[in-house]
Chains A and B, each alone.
Chain A
Amino acid sequence: MTSGHKYCSKMARTGSILLVTTAILFCMFLFAIGYSRFLSQQANSADKIGKKQKLSELATALATLTMHKLKYSAQLMQNTTKLRAYPESGSALAALYDYLSLPLSKFDSQKSFVMPLDEDATGHFSLLLEQLWQTAGYGDELEESITVGVMRDDFVDTGATSSAYTRNKSGNLRITVNLRIIHSEHLSTTLDFNYSCPIRVATAHVPVLSKYNLYIENARLNSGDYDAGYNQVSVDGFGNFAETRSKARPLVLNNDGNQKLPVKTDFRNFVEDERGLVYLGGNSSIFLNLARSDAVAPNSDSGEGFQFFRRLNYDGTYPVYAGNSAENGKVLIVYLDQGVSDDTDQRNLSFYSLIESGYFGVKQVQEGRMRFSSIFRLFGVQRDLSPTLVQGNVLSQYLTIALTWGEGGKKLRPPFLTNLSYTAPMMPDAYYFDCISLPEYADLQSAFALDNSLDSYKKYVNHYSSRVNHRPYNQGLGFMLSQTNADAAMLFPDSDPLSRFVRSSAHDGTHKIPGVFAEIYPEVADLKSMSPFATGFADAAKASYRVDNSAEPDIFKLLKQQGLLSQDRLLLDGWLSFSSGITINRRLEYMSSGGIVVENGDLIVEAPVVPGGWRDNCLLYLVALNGNVIFKTQPDAKVQAAVIASSNTAEHGRVIFEAPPAEIKGALAMKRLLRNSTEAETFQGTNLIYFPALAATPAGSDGLSNDDSLLTFSFGQQPQEIR
């Protein structure tokens, strides 16, 4: 090998190394670039995932806020127009509530409502939203919009009588949270997050039963024909409650929530207006004595003189029989009807002495407990009249004073017709045996062909004498319609069903479900049993909450745990059931309508139960399904609640007034009030004022039932994300 060759060979080897090194370096460069891009992609992906997670959390927070707005804002705001838990008119929430109030048949297949979170009552959400934005690391480049969607297929009709009361339903709302990320003026990204929210729309109303201010399934106190055990209340001659003489206090009804609705002459209007009816059930007649209210005390607190014919000068006499006396010409037998009082002064006794002058009169007064008025004031009291339709075999009982009257005001003999005793003729110690034959009865003898026979005596006692009388309780409506018309009962046209109620208390219709309410339960014809109506208040599906309280007696604690109590105010807006008996021992203010149902045990009310401020139109149902509702309140307490006491046993299903409140505004429905006349002796009544919205009529041809003002809107607690 030459040195030149050696040199060339060395040069070539150096070049190869350089080439290889360059190639390696180039490869490494390419790898570095690729790895760098890989790392960059990884970082981008992680960033994207983080951002989306953050947005999802943000959306969930917004959905939760939306549900809180739905759930609480109506209850917490003061709607001074509707006076109940309802959003302010014109707000987005009000539009949703209005729509949800409609029957399901009126729903569109799909409808959306934009729901701004920081609107009116929920304006304080603005600050909350701002904080959320800052936490999420977004400023102006993120916008949110929330839509509540209502799809008809997401709902089902609920309630015992969905064809009659058409607004009850349950289902789910769809909440869509839309987030828009603004990249630049012309570029943005939109993300939708979907959630569902359960809702139950249920009325604080029980079909048929709610129409009754007072419903008692079995109001009979004993099994005999003559049930006068309710007559226990003392009133004085003016018609004022005689507190010192009376162990019993009356239950005074106001049947229209103080609206002063007049008496109407047609059944339909009578039944369909905002008036609570009365049903005193039982298989035979109940006799209720009407309390005296004297002409000179027209505003008496317990009197029922308005149920009698009276002229403006307090003359209440009206002729019934006419005859011709041989000696004095025309003879009229005139009646004067009067209520009862146990005053012992001569003024009161003057009414009784004519009746008690004979054996049968004494017996009538004693057996009818005619010194005492009944524990019921079904048409209110003299100072606050409140007409309604009383159903059941209910009769009013009163004193009838009979007089003879001659033509031209001529005095006839005798002027007053006593209730004569009967003793067999010619008995030596009998004073009355031939009274009809006495000269002082001469006019009566000749005018009405009376002699000393037993038949004449019967005719006299049953038709002409002063005695205890009774009549259908509803006949008093006639004199409430026109007190100065002696024949006011005849003002109700024969063709109208109302006249049957005025003329009789024993017709079939008196136990029937009246008018528009009759078709609500197609299979139920009458009011005799409370059980068929239980579907309206015992339906478990109606309750939005169920609380097992068997181990915890403090319901306030339990309500708080459920998130239903805030500052001792009940935020229910729906129905709630407790498994066991409860005691409301602290003032309970409710912010929305609803119902509390006790499944087993007593529901004891020891404190006021009233709506919170500006919620006068709210109503709470208090229901004992298998127990009693017992009132043990302070005497000045007020309760605004509709009360139902039901049971499958004879021992329960009663409303018991151990210490009644001053007033119950709502309605009462029960199996029994009192079990016997001994309990009636110490009955402690109160003022029962009907809650007019309860008179809601069922849907007519337009499909809209009238119970919208009692609707409750019970939303779920947490949104469920739909993926």
Chain B
Amino acid sequence: MRKNSLPFLCKAALTLLMPVLLLITIQSSAVELNVARQGEVKNVPVQQPYNGCLIVREGPGMEYPVKGHVVNGDTVTIEGASGSWYRISAPIAGYIWSSYIAVTDSQTVDTANMTKPLDLETIVNNADPLAREQNLPARQQLLEDNRVIEINIDQEIQP
């Protein structure tokens, strides 16, 4: 009886303490994040509409004017990220679509000293979703169960 109850007590204590410990850990520690600083242009399709060129724009979006382009193999200096776009300072200052940039150098940032919130790119650069690959059917089911309002696309696209 005593042998069985001890692990149970330990589990119960751990269950109770876990959230507390987690919070203490979160509040007391800051982590180091890797922020991209340099990259190489890679895998830009040679067919249309790319023709092997990655367009550099004035802002982080397709609506911004074109400033120039880089090609596979070019090295770009990354200053920051905005959504799916990198802000680069060389060889041309502007924004490029990040999908075709392989990060070759990154800087470690201590979040304790950060004065601005993290952006999406920074969070994703630190991500490791593969460690959580299990339970996909259950997650999908949960998402389906959660959905109360569905986008009625048929109705929305009616001319």
Query: How far is it, in angstroms, between the C-alpha of A471 and the C-alpha of B143 when the chains are bound?
Result: 8
- Complex Cα gap A64–B134 (Å): 77
| Residue pair A385, B23 in contact (C-beta under 8 Å) | yes
Interface string of A329-369 (1 = CB under 8 A from B): 00010101010010101111111011000011001100000
Q: Which of these, A225, A237, A319, contacts B117 with CB under 8 Å?
A: A237
Q: Is B5 an interface residue (CB 8 A)?
A: no
Asked whether A314 lies within 8 Å of B126 as measured between CB atoms, the reply is yes
Contact with A along B29-46 (1 / 0, CB 8 A): 111010000000001010
Whether A360 contacts B153 by the Cβ 8 Å rule is yes
Interface residues of B in 124-144 (CB under 8 A from A): 124, 126-130, 132-133, 135-136, 138-140, 142-143
**Chain A neighbourhood of B116, CB < 8 A:** 237, 345, 347
Question: Is there contact, CB below 8 Å, between B129 and A318?
Answer: yes
Taking a contact as CB atoms closer than 8 A, the residue among B61, B129, B153 that contacts A334 in the complex is: B129
Are A319 and B121 also in contact (CB < 8 A) when A350-B82, A353-B60 are? no
When the two chains form their complex, are residues B19 and A480 in contact, meaning their CB atoms are under 8 A apart? yes
A490 on the B face (CB < 8 A): yes
Instruction: Check if B98 is an interface residue, CB within 8 A of chain A.
Output: yes
B26 touches A353 (CB 8 A): no
Given A296-B117, A332-B130, A484-B22, A320:B139 Cβ within 8 A: yes
A332 adjacent to B82 (CB under 8 Å): no
Number of residues of chain B lying within 8 A (CB) of chain A: 64
CA–CA, A331 to B81, complex, Å? 24
* Complex interface bits, B94-138 against A, C-beta within 8 A gives 1, otherwise 0: 000011001000000001101011111101101111101101101
Contacts A296-B114, A314-B33, A346-B119 given; does A321 touch B136 at CB 8 Å: yes
List the A side residues contacting B82 at CB < 8 Å. Answer: 346-347, 349-350, 353
A196 contacts chain B at the CB level, 8 A cutoff: no
| Interface residue? B18 (CB, 8 A) | yes
* Interface flag for A294 (CB, 8 Å): yes
CB <8 Å contact, A262 and B139 = no
Closest-CB distance, A581 to chain B (whole angstroms): 41
Taken together as a complex, chains A and B put the C-alpha atoms of A510 and B12 apart, in Å, by 28
Inter-chain contact A411/B99, CB cutoff 8 Å:
yes
With an 8 A cutoff between CB atoms, is B66 at the interface? no
Which of the residues B130, B142, B145 comes within 8 Å of A405, measured between beta carbons? Answer: B130
Q: Which B residue's beta carbon lies closest to that of A359?
A: B156
Of A412-420, A444-452, A566-574, A665-673, the one with at least 4 CB within 8 A of chain B:
A412-420
Are B153 and A295 closer than 8 Å at their CB atoms? no
Q: 1/0 per residue A292-303: CB within 8 Å of B? A: 101111110000
Which of A21-29, A457-465, A511-519, A605-613 lies on the face that meets chain B?
A457-465
Docked CA distance A324–B18 (Å): 37
Is A172 among interface residues, defined by CB-CB distance under 8 A?
no
A470 within 8 Å of B by Cβ? yes
In the complex, whether B4 has a CB less than 8 A from a CB of chain A is no
Q: Does B151 contact A (CB under 8 A)?
A: yes
B142 contacts across to A, CB distance below 8 A? 489-490, 503
Could you tell me if B61 and A336 are in contact, using CB atoms closer than 8 angstroms?
Answer: no
A490 to B136, CA, bound (A): 12
Q: What does the 1/0 interface line of B45-59 toward A look like (CB < 8 Å)?
A: 101011000000000
Q: Is residue A163 within 8 Å, beta carbon to beta carbon, of the partner chain?
A: no
In the complex, A353 Cα to B64 Cα: how many Å?
14
Indicate the member of B123, B128, B150 with the most A CB atoms within 10 Å: B123
Closest-by-CB residue of A relative to B22 is A483
Q: Cβ of A341: which chain B residues have Cβ within 8 Å of it?
A: 117
CB distance from B130 to the nearest CB of A (A): 7
Q: Nearest chain A CB to B94's CB is how many angstroms away?
A: 14
Which of A354, A411, A414 interacts with B102 by CB under 8 Å?
A411
Task: Collect the chain A residues with CB atoms within 8 Å of residue B146's CB.
Answer: 469-472, 475, 503
Q: Do residues B129 and A319 form an inter-chain contact, with CB atoms below 8 A?
A: yes
A285 at the interface (CB under 8 A from B): yes
Residue numbers in B under 8 Å from A348 (CB-CB): 117, 119
User: Is A705 engaged at the interface, CB distance under 8 Å to the other chain?
Assistant: no
Whether A320 pairs with B140 at a CB distance below 8 angstroms is yes
CB-CB under 8 A from A311, the residues of chain B are: 128
Q: How far, in whole Å, are A403 and B126 apart by their CA atoms in the complex?
A: 13
Q: Which residues of A contact B61 (CB under 8 A)?
A: 353
The reply to whether A407 and B130 form a contact with Cβ atoms under 8 Å apart is yes
Q: Roughly how many angstroms separate A438 CA and B44 CA in the complex, as a whole number?
A: 12
Known: A360-B156, A457-B153, A462-B150. A336 touches B124 (CB 8 A): yes
Contact B18 A346 (CB under 8 A): no
B123 / chain A contacts, CB cutoff of 8 Å: 295, 314-317, 336
A238 at the interface (CB under 8 A from B): yes
- One of B114, B118, B130, B148 near A506 (C-beta < 8 A): B148
B90 interface contact, C-beta 8 A:
no
Which residues from A are CB-within-8-Å of B80?
Answer: 346
As a 0/1 sequence over residues 88 to 115 of chain A, the CB contacts with chain B under 8 angstroms (1 = contact) are 0000000000000000000000000000
Verify B127–A317 contact, CB threshold 8 A. yes
Q: Are B118 and A295 touching (Cβ within 8 A)?
A: yes
Q: Does B10 contact A (CB under 8 A)?
A: no
Interface pairs (26), CB distance under 8 Å: A237-B116, A262-B19, A262-B20, A263-B19, A296-B111, A320-B139, A322-B133, A336-B123, A336-B124, A347-B82, A350-B82, A351-B83, A353-B83, A354-B84, A354-B120, A403-B129, A411-B102, A415-B84, A416-B84, A418-B84, A422-B157, A454-B157, A462-B153, A470-B146, A470-B148, A482-B19
Q: What is the interface of chain B, defined by CB distance below 8 A to chain A?
A: 16, 18-20, 22-23, 25-27, 29-31, 33, 43, 45, 47, 49-50, 60-62, 80-84, 98-99, 102, 111-112, 114, 116-121, 123-124, 126-130, 132-133, 135-136, 138-140, 142-143, 145-151, 153, 156-157
Given A316-B127, A462-B153, 7 further pairs, Cβ under 8 A: A314-B118, A318-B139, A353-B84, A405-B129, A416-B83, A461-B151, A470-B149
Hey, which bits of chain A sit against chain B, CB under 8 A? Answer: 225-226, 236-238, 262-263, 285, 292, 294-299, 311-322, 332, 334, 336, 338, 341, 343, 345-351, 353-354, 359-360, 363-364, 385, 395, 401, 403, 405, 407-409, 411, 413-416, 418, 422, 431, 438-440, 454, 457-458, 461-462, 469-472, 475, 480-484, 486-487, 489-490, 503-506
